[in-house]
Chain A
Amino acid sequence: MAPIEPFKIKVFTFVILCAVFLSYTFWLYSEVPAKSKPANTLAEKGKMIWQQKNCSACHQLYGLGGHLGPDLTNVYSRRPEIYIRAILQAGTPVMPDFHLSSKEKDALVAFFKYTNTTGTADPKSFTQHLDGTISQP
């Protein structure tokens, strides 16, 4: 039997990798990642304000985002609502005042309430295992 042409091996490898990649990808699109619930309408509005004002340039959710401000995934359980509203009202010496309307503030608070229900981002709460993996509460 004649040896297989190297070009064919390359094309074959490429096609197999792509097929596995695409299957995995579309599986992920259809599957809902563990435990999490969708946001309600108000929280969804809050998410859009969060994006339009680009809050994530300074803040993180689950540790992802800019690094000038704190992670806000669980700010709702860490701070009283009135405190969050006060910060949204006036900003801080670093954080600008975004002149948010009271509706916008409601939506953002609902968003933080929602992010808080999706899980915890505090690395202290994770358990480390000997094989290098971690588990979350």
Chain B
Amino acid sequence: MEQYPNHKINYSVAFIKMALLFLLSALSFGLLAALQYIIPGFGRDTFSFEKLRPLHVSSAVFWIILGAMGSVISFFRQHKRRKLKNQFWIKVQFYIFTLSFGGALVSYCFGIFSGREYWEFHPLLAIPIAIGWIVFIVNFLSNLGTLKNQPVYIWMWFTGILFFLFTYVESNLWLIPAINDNLVKDMTIQWKSYGSMVGSWNLLIYGSSIFLMDAISGSKKYSYSNLVFALYFLSLFNLMFNWGHHIYTLPTSLYIKDIGYLVSMTELFLFGRIIYLWRSSVTTAQKYFHIRPYRFLLAADVWVFLTLGLAVCMSIPALNIYMHGTHVIVAHTMGATIGINSFLLIAFACYILGKKKNGNFFKSKWIDIGFWVINISLVFFWISLIVAGFIKSHWMFHQPDVPFGVMMMSLKPWFISFYISGCGLFIGFCMIIFPLLFNHLLRDENNSFFKRKENHNLKEMVLD
């Protein structure tokens, strides 16, 4: 079956492939940055940590954002099975983001920074990115039509896209002197915007994963159910008001922290729900495990559980002070961006790029091995950082006389295991990235789930 009859370049695929290149960049710079943890002073005068960290972290953010955009655009392309409206503007969107994200990485190499977390590039680059996002909103809305009778993932994308723009603009408010000259106010607004921004891209990605799960299970019931809408509103509520948990130690107004604390505790419902549904999840897992994209969705579920558990602990101020400013936070952030965001996006990438034109999945034992390499490495990666974080925490509370450098030396064994497992992540992800990038060269899978449903591609099987 010819899926893309009318266009020379399929931009939904282009978004996802470009995203994969940024993932590769994030992994490479991550390894280089981590090297400075185990060889202190490595690259001090050439490629020091203040360059490598933003190269790594921004690449990771760009991977997530481009991947999320790609999955939303692919939905319209594949699911609606019609020519995308606004072809030209989708192309414009693609080039704006590719050029400005690429430009940001180049500017870091020259030591040009805004010095903010995550978006560390010069504020001038924020302009094309905001314009690109507005183009994305227009493209989304013109392809959407109405919100009426739409499944939950459309709502999630809709809100994720709107809130991203809002929080992105908000994250640039430091350019106003009245905010910038008051450190506590500046940091409050900065972390307010980042907390909600992460929530926004999570809505985009979780939305895509619900769509994908619908497609795999062949049932649309879940994404229209009242329960799933209630969970969506709970996430939205958290996106708006839980960010106070980032700044418990900042001497900002108390009510900000109390609201953050109270709202974060509603995440216990989500945590409890996972435990409650554990049994049925195992049954579903057994049923679909042979489907490649599903495997990543399942692994992400496990990481949601672990990450949420850690997040709930971190949201209690009295516990938070033991972890704040330590590598436990790094474990949490990378655990979430790798184990949840990246896995869900890889699931989607396998679904979009892993299918041949006839709807069959291609054969790649590399991807299947890569899956295990990544998961096993991630466990060690996560634990190494958490242990390093707790040792640092012990130092903060009980060893005021030990110099910082001596404490860092004592963490070295854990940094080495962090680095080795980081290499595992790099290798595992490469085993997936390259087959997906060069998907047109691969052969069909012989006995896939999809092959058995001959002459049907996934979409027809599920949605018709």
Q: Contacts A62-B247, A65-B117, A123-B322: A24 and B40 contacting too (C-beta < 8 A)?
A: no
Q: Which of A55, A64, A68, A124 contacts B397 (CB 8 A)?
A: A124
List residues 212-245 of chain B with CB under 8 A from any CB of chain A. 226, 229, 233, 236-237, 240-241
Which A residues are in CB contact (< 8 Å) with B114? 51
**Bound Cα distance A11, B290 (Å):** 39
Contact B115 A51 (CB under 8 A): yes
Which B residues are in CB contact (< 8 Å) with A94? 36, 40-41, 44, 49
How would residues 122 to 137 of chain A score, 1 for a CB under 8 Å from any chain B CB and 0 otherwise?
A: 1110101100111010
Q: Which of B185, B318, B326 contacts A33 (CB 8 A)?
A: B185
Interface size on A, residues (CB 8 A): 67
Q: B-side binding surface: helix, strand, loop or mixed? A: helix
Q: Which of B53, B187, B240, B250 contacts A17 (CB 8 A)?
A: B240
Nearest-CB residue, chain B, relative to A7: B148
The size class of the interface chain B forms with chain A is 35 or more
Write the nearest CB–CB distance from A41 to chain B, whole angstroms: 9
List residues 88-137 of chain A with CB under 8 A from any CB of chain B. 91, 93-97, 114-115, 118-124, 126, 128-129, 132-134, 136
**Bound Cα distance A53, B192 (Å):** 24
Which B residues are in CB contact (< 8 Å) with A63? 249, 324-325
From B76-84, B256-264, B278-286, B291-299, the one touching the partner chain is: B256-264
Contact B115 A56 (CB under 8 A): yes
Contact B185 A54 (CB under 8 A): no
Contact A96 B184 (CB under 8 A): no
**Bound Cα distance A54, B324 (Å):** 20
Nearest-CB residue, chain A, relative to B400: A124
Which A residues are in CB contact (< 8 Å) with B258? 133
Q: Which of A34, A58, A60, A132 contacts B50 (CB 8 A)?
A: A58
Query: Which residues does A use to contact B, with CB under 8 Å?
Result: 6-7, 10-11, 13-14, 17, 20-21, 24-25, 28-29, 31-39, 44, 47, 50-58, 60-71, 91, 93-97, 114-115, 118-124, 126, 128-129, 132-134, 136
Q: List 13 A-B contacts (CB under 8 A).
A: A28-B188, A38-B182, A52-B113, A62-B250, A66-B49, A68-B53, A96-B44, A96-B50, A123-B396, A126-B249, A128-B321, A133-B257, A136-B249
